[in-house]
Structure 1
Amino acid sequence: MAAAESGTELVKVVVLLAAGVIAVPLFKRLGLGSVLGYLAAGLAIGPFGLGFFSEAQTILHVAELGVVMFLFVIGLEMQPTRLWNLRRQIFGLGLAQVVVCIALLTATGVLAGLAAPVAFIAASGFVLSSTAIVMQLLDESGDTSTPRGQRIVSILLLEDLAIVPLLAIVAFLSPAPAGEAVSRWVTVGVALAAVVGLVAVSRWLLNPLFSVLARAKAREVMTAAALLVVLGAALAMQWGGLSMAMGAFAAGVMLSESTFRHQLEADVEPFRGILLGLFFMGVGMALDIPLVLQNWPLLLGGVLVCMAVKGIGVYAVARFTKAAHGEALQRTMLMAQGGEFAFVLYSAAATAGIVEARMNAVLTAAVILSMALTPLAVLSLRWLMPPEPAQNMDGIEAADDLKGTVLIIGFGRFAQIASQLLLARGVDIAIIENDTDMIRAASHFGFKVYYGDGTRLDVLHASGAHHAKSILVCTDDAKTTTHIVELLKHECPLVPVLARAFDRQHAIELLRLGVDYQMRETFESAMGFGMQALATLGVDPEEVAQVAANIRERDAERLQLELAGDKDGARNFFQGNKWIPTPLTQPQREGRALNEEAADAIEEPLQPAAATPLA
């Protein structure tokens, strides 16, 4: 009997995996995206489809761990300083969107004949966009790390935080016993204690724990520890009455500056992907088909109206905050749906007696329908907005198992000149670049350049980063360079990394990451230019060389002071006039002080011109 039951459970697992394996590639091939594929697969095998599963809610609860792990990975990318920089977007832009959309949807519900408390609850749940769907769609389009993507992430974070006060409002709207007020304050205290405890553990205990595990050199234990951190943080927040997803996000943020960040991300990634797909399939299973068929004109019309009203609110807030039309339209299509937290809010309202059971089922079905319509809404952007031209990959090879002695990342003007010295000495170099036009242009001059994005760990492995004797990071974007250096110093700590810096502050940032050598992109050319200017004035060549050596020495010393955080020492560093052989008049001294102060404050302010092969 037990063997038969075990076999039945195994059949369910096989059916679940097979549905995803078949549906997702098919839907992606049709251009409909993986999310819609998972939803369709869940609908097909669920209680209202082929009937392989009867308890969709059970699967949904398990699959919520996918959302939890997704937010943990997002948290790992959000250093506290970066999160602090987004505070205005989170508590300004995010709060504005939530308030405006709740007001619009509540008014719509009241006009439709709902009681004010029910309309408010229905609106509040629909306003909380699906973090899982939006982040998956952003990830597929490659917009997660872009400024527009970061603004959407900020809004999603505020919406996830909003579930806490919204649940409190549901509790206060419910008819409560006289002594219930005290227990509510206890609940708030427990929630705060959970947050403080999580921050304390993440900040002071996890790094020593992972250091011990790393010395043990047991990879499977590191993976188990990564899962323990994610699930433990989620459980702590759940016990505190808060969102599991927010607990995982907070743990990720606390570990974002850990030396084990990339290892944690790699360990959690496979589980995150599988469970997130399972979550979407659970949402598809939970759609009550008989209810939809019975009320489909009203339900579909209501969903479209709610998505349209929320979309108007999202677009209006985006335009009011100076977003471009294209960005506002993308945000509208991505965030017009309800989300997974709506299920929690509606369930709590039904338990509290604010919403009837049938109304709860209708609202839940409406949210699921809106989630299913979101990928289609995003696809409509292809007709509403002109698509960006795709890169033509004809005749271009992707980086795969390269073995160069020196790896060069980025092949603009800077790298083209630097590579000539290596080639002249017969050094074997491997070059990767993500601009196909640059790759083709370089091929006309005899360079073999491979296509590859240096910010991706798998591409660095395929490019032979671990086997190289030296790596030159020559990308022309400061943030990209910083990210690549950070990856390389973590993954290939024994390989010397040389990096092109944009300006002084970027050079300091690279030095703090442990780069072995950095060069500001205009420093040496400007030095040569200045030396030639002195020569044209008739200054003796030996004196020109001495002045240049003095400036280089003092620049290096000032850079070390700034690196050590001695701002006053760096600011007053020009005092002394060591390299001026003749006394200065008072106007000369005043003019010199002003010029040096300006040079200290503003260095190399202009971006380099567009790259030209072999400039």
Structure 2
Amino acid sequence: MHGFFAELVIILTASALVLAAFYRLRLPPTLGYLTTGLLIGPGALGLVGNQEAVQYLAEFGVVFLLFSLGLEFSLSRLLAMRRLVFGLGGGQVLICTAAFMAVGLGVGLSPPLALLMAAVLALSSTAVVTRELARSGELYARHGQLGVAVLLFQDLAAVLFLILIPALATEGDGLPLMLAVTVAKGLVLFAALIGIGKWVLPRVFFEVAKTHSDELFVLAALLVALLAALLTDAFGLSMTLGAFIAGMMLGESHFRHRIEVEIRPFRDVLLGIFFVSVGMLLVPAQLLPRWSALLGLTAALLVFKTVIVMVLGRWLGEDRLTSLRAALLLAQGGEFGFALLAVAGTYHLIDPGQATLVAASIVLSMALTPLIVRHNGRIAAWFLRHRHPLPAAQADLVDVSGATGALSGHVVICGYGRVGQAVGRILTREGVAFVAVDEDPVRVQEALLGGENVFYGDARRPALLHALGIARARLVLVSFTDHRHALAIVRAVRERAPELPILVRTTDDRYRDVLKQAGVTAVVPETFEASLTLASHVLALLDFPMERVQQSVQGVREERYGVLRGYFHGQRSRIEDTQGQALEVRHAVRLPDEARAVGLRLDELDLARTGAEVRGVRRAGAGELVPAADLRLQAGDAVVLFGTASQVENAERRLLGG
């Protein structure tokens, strides 16, 4: 036991050092954990020798990975995107699995092992692809949506493969019968757990949330995941299947967001140990003599999956460039492949040498993925020999310039979070035009669907500021609380517009002098200003003359908020109400062709039952529509919802799937 704890300390220390280096290099943390395992494993430094204990602990990481994916899995989204999910995603998984299985049989693998290898290689990396798409602002582009649709089906396929692995371990003529029995057990157990999740778990978590105990809430979430995993294991199925179903059960409740936040530390650490354990399987001494086989398998994986997805995209009516860009996103292997290899190893379906070669091929393909995703547009344009393709950075500036060319005397808002949006709405009410820029692609997409004049990009780029029209603007508002970020934006603005007024929002007044020296017109420390607003109301309610209240507030400002600096720290405040629900939010839902709401009037949808309000409907070519009860929705409409997180989620499900 003492030796295991010493090795665990070595794993955590090495992971922290390697991840710090990988974050500086902007490489995915998954590759950092894999590299850690390679370095400290028996194939390199040999610092950790008790692999069996590490593997046992790593299984919990896989359980929590599947639990988290279940939380994010949306049945209504699946139904609304069923044409892409089952057409493109289903085709990719079936064709790739069949082709890789045929190759495996051709090189002499047994049918169960060939099917396992094919399943491992057919899946792509949801974590790496979605993270890189979000960073590049392409998550909601057409090729990004195609990639997400395929990844959604792959999640389903991975669950099916997890069901089949115990059956594949059966030898002899009983395999077909065992497969049928295993699938039947899986379906029965799936239906039973979904029923429990729909009618039992919400009541349990409602009572837990009323206790206001974070510890009890975390314990309940962990207990549900582990009990579901234990139940499926008792039925002879994979524990990870139970964890995925448990996540799906809770993903349909309004406790989903809080559960995601609470279990993330456990999931990330345990999942990191899982990837370290996979890296420990990579033994350079075994791989170097087989380097040609490794490179050949990786190249075949990347090329074949790219070709299959591109052909399927063209068959579904997508243009060549979009199809190829989506295909490039999905060419690699994925973390589900590691999970399948780990589960298969427990059933002795694959020997360590074979697992090492396949795992190394997946690692190599994932190492190339960030570069491929970031430059997918240029790679596709070069391959298709498009003449004079615009680089991504130049293309987005052309779009921004075209959209803001008619603006003059407007306000440029850098940072469109809660504060930026509040200022924008007040400006709209007063008839003042504005344009905003933000670095969060999800927020930009939501705001665009809601009809806001917002663009994705880095406001520190002088070329982007020029495209936003700062030469014609009346004011620039910087609402990023990070003073270094704000300072870089101020300097970029001053290069193009030396006399333009700049207003900067900060958390407090510590960096006022630095910002002033850089050319800021005014600094608004939000914490102090909120305190002054509250204090002025208190004085007014105490019957102080308004003149004296204003003098007091102005005096504090002239003293540079000295009296307000410093405070006694306390425990962190709760961010949810007693039911575990989030604060009220706005959310825009784009209606695909297959959405249930298409062709129905708003009053027929009866969204009032969900508690959410429809604040607006935007239609291509028609602009903003009044959300009247008799308004009939069309495919492509963007419906802006308002309410708590649970109300908005229920309304979205009603719009998309019923």
TM class by smaller structure: 0.5 to 0.7
The alpha-carbon distance between structure 1 residues 203 and 408, as it changes in their structure 2 partners (threshold 3 A), is same
Which residue does the alignment assign to 1:280? Answer: 275
Which residue does the alignment assign to 1:231? Answer: 226
Work out whether 1:389 is the aligned partner of 2:389.
no
Distance in 2 (alpha carbons) for counterparts of 1:267 and 1:230 = 13
Which residue does the alignment assign to 1:147? Answer: 145
Which residue does the alignment assign to 1:418? Answer: 429
Alignment counterpart, residue 362 of structure 1, candidates 354, 359, 367: 354
Report the AA paired with residue 376 of structure 1.
L
The alpha-carbon distance between structure 1 residues 175 and 202, as it changes in their structure 2 partners (threshold 3 A), is same
| Residues 254-283 of structure 1: CA deviation (Å, up to 9, x unaligned) | 333423222112112222222232222222
Any idea what SS the aligned residue of 2:479 has? strand
| Residues 508-567 of structure 1: CA deviation (Å, up to 9, x unaligned) | 898666467946689xx999xxxxxxxxxxxxxxxxxxxxxxxxxxx99x73xxxxxxxx
The alpha-carbon distance between structure 1 residues 83 and 193, as it changes in their structure 2 partners (threshold 3 A), is same
Which residue does the alignment assign to 1:63? Answer: 58
Report the AA paired with residue 221 of structure 2.
A
Report the AA paired with residue 417 of structure 1.
T
Calculate the aligned-residue CA RMSD, in Å: 5.0
Alignment counterpart, residue 492 of structure 1, candidates 577, 583, 587: 583
Any idea what SS the aligned residue of 1:448 has? strand
Asked whether the equivalents of residues 94 and 159 of structure 1 are also in contact (C-alpha less than 8 Å), the reply is no
The alpha-carbon distance between structure 1 residues 372 and 68, as it changes in their structure 2 partners (threshold 3 A), is farther
Q: CA deviation at 1:377?
A: 3.8
Any idea what SS the aligned residue of 1:49 has? coil
Which residue does the alignment assign to 1:446? Answer: 475
Any idea what SS the aligned residue of 1:238 has? helix
Work out whether 1:25 is the aligned partner of 2:29.
no
Any idea what SS the aligned residue of 1:409 has? helix
Report the AA paired with residue 98 of structure 1.
V
Q: CA deviation at 1:383?
A: 5.1
Distance in 2 (alpha carbons) for counterparts of 1:135 and 1:375 = 15
Which residue does the alignment assign to 1:50? Answer: 45
Which residue does the alignment assign to 2:71? Answer: 76
Report the AA paired with residue 492 of structure 1.
L
Distance in 2 (alpha carbons) for counterparts of 1:236 and 1:327 = 43
Q: CA deviation at 1:138?
A: 5.2
Alignment counterpart, residue 373 of structure 1, candidates 350, 359, 365: 365
The alpha-carbon distance between structure 1 residues 257 and 451, as it changes in their structure 2 partners (threshold 3 A), is farther
Structure 1 gaps of 5+ residues are 422-430, 453-458, 470-485, 528-554, 560-569, 571-599, 609-615
Work out whether 1:100 is the aligned partner of 2:90.
no
Q: Using the TM superposition, name which of 105-114 and 248-257 deviates more.
A: 105-114
Distance in 2 (alpha carbons) for counterparts of 1:338 and 1:605 = 33
Work out whether 1:39 is the aligned partner of 2:34.
yes
| Residues 365-408 of structure 1: CA deviation (Å, up to 9, x unaligned) | 2233322332314414555533632999xx986589x9xxxx56
Distance in 1 (alpha carbons) for counterparts of 2:127 and 2:586 = 38
Distance in 2 (alpha carbons) for counterparts of 1:155 and 1:519 = 32
Alignment counterpart, residue 120 of structure 2, candidates 116, 125, 131: 125
Any idea what SS the aligned residue of 1:389 has? helix
Which residue does the alignment assign to 1:290? Answer: 285
Report the AA paired with residue 421 of structure 2.
I
TM-score w.r.t. structure 2 length? Answer: 0.60
Asked whether the equivalents of residues 105 and 123 of structure 1 are also in contact (C-alpha less than 8 Å), the reply is yes
Distance in 1 (alpha carbons) for counterparts of 2:79 and 2:214 = 33
Asked whether the equivalents of residues 234 and 243 of structure 1 are also in contact (C-alpha less than 8 Å), the reply is yes
Any idea what SS the aligned residue of 2:393 has? coil
Distance in 1 (alpha carbons) for counterparts of 2:77 and 2:274 = 29
| Residues 463-510 of structure 1: CA deviation (Å, up to 9, x unaligned) | 99x9999xxxxxxxxxxxxxxxx9xx94336xxx89999998499898
Identical-pair percentage:
29
| Residues 100-139 of structure 1: CA deviation (Å, up to 9, x unaligned) | 1123223434555656665454333322345555555556
Alignment counterpart, residue 421 of structure 2, candidates 391, 404, 409: 409
Please give the residue correspondences for 1:144-293 in structure 2 after superposition, counting only pairs within 5 Å: 147-164=145-162, 166-167=164-165, 170=168, 174-176=171-173, 187-293=182-288
Distance in 2 (alpha carbons) for counterparts of 1:256 and 1:220 = 20
Asked whether the equivalents of residues 318 and 328 of structure 1 are also in contact (C-alpha less than 8 Å), the reply is yes
Which residue does the alignment assign to 1:86? Answer: 81
Any idea what SS the aligned residue of 2:88 has? helix
Please give the residue correspondences for 1:336-351 in structure 2 after superposition, counting only pairs within 5 Å: 336-339=331-334, 342=337
Distance in 1 (alpha carbons) for counterparts of 2:79 and 2:637 = 27
Q: CA deviation at 1:82?
A: 2.1
Asked whether the equivalents of residues 254 and 581 of structure 2 are also in contact (C-alpha less than 8 Å), the reply is yes
Any idea what SS the aligned residue of 1:103 has? helix
Q: Using the TM superposition, name which of 181-190 and 191-200 deviates more.
A: 181-190
Q: Using the TM superposition, name which of 259-268 and 232-241 deviates more.
A: 232-241
Q: Using the TM superposition, name which of 149-158 and 128-137 deviates more.
A: 128-137
The alpha-carbon distance between structure 1 residues 377 and 62, as it changes in their structure 2 partners (threshold 3 A), is same
The alpha-carbon distance between structure 1 residues 114 and 285, as it changes in their structure 2 partners (threshold 3 A), is closer
Report the AA paired with residue 123 of structure 2.
L
Q: CA deviation at 1:160?
A: 0.9
Any idea what SS the aligned residue of 2:392 has? coil
Distance in 1 (alpha carbons) for counterparts of 2:336 and 2:264 = 23
Distance in 1 (alpha carbons) for counterparts of 2:59 and 2:471 = 48
The alpha-carbon distance between structure 1 residues 463 and 183, as it changes in their structure 2 partners (threshold 3 A), is farther
Any idea what SS the aligned residue of 1:316 has? helix
Distance in 2 (alpha carbons) for counterparts of 1:354 and 1:241 = 16
The alpha-carbon distance between structure 1 residues 516 and 368, as it changes in their structure 2 partners (threshold 3 A), is same
Structure 2 gaps of 5+ residues are 379-390, 398-411, 433-446, 460-464, 482-504, 508-524, 535-576, 592-600, 640-658
TM-score w.r.t. structure 1 length? Answer: 0.63
Q: Using the TM superposition, name which of 27-36 and 383-392 deviates more.
A: 383-392
Distance in 2 (alpha carbons) for counterparts of 1:369 and 1:270 = 29
Q: CA deviation at 1:163?
A: 0.3
Q: CA deviation at 1:603?
A: 9.1
The alpha-carbon distance between structure 1 residues 419 and 49, as it changes in their structure 2 partners (threshold 3 A), is farther
Q: CA deviation at 1:215?
A: 1.5
Q: Using the TM superposition, name which of 30-39 and 510-519 deviates more.
A: 510-519
Asked whether the equivalents of residues 90 and 150 of structure 2 are also in contact (C-alpha less than 8 Å), the reply is no
Distance in 1 (alpha carbons) for counterparts of 2:159 and 2:241 = 7
Any idea what SS the aligned residue of 1:287 has? coil
Larger radius of gyration: 1
Distance in 2 (alpha carbons) for counterparts of 1:281 and 1:294 = 23
Distance in 2 (alpha carbons) for counterparts of 1:602 and 1:257 = 25
Report the AA paired with residue 245 of structure 2.
A
Q: Using the TM superposition, name which of 149-158 and 381-390 deviates more.
A: 381-390
Q: Using the TM superposition, name which of 16-25 and 432-441 deviates more.
A: 432-441
Q: CA deviation at 1:202?
A: 0.7
Asked whether the equivalents of residues 128 and 369 of structure 2 are also in contact (C-alpha less than 8 Å), the reply is no
Distance in 1 (alpha carbons) for counterparts of 2:57 and 2:32 = 20
Distance in 1 (alpha carbons) for counterparts of 2:5 and 2:260 = 30
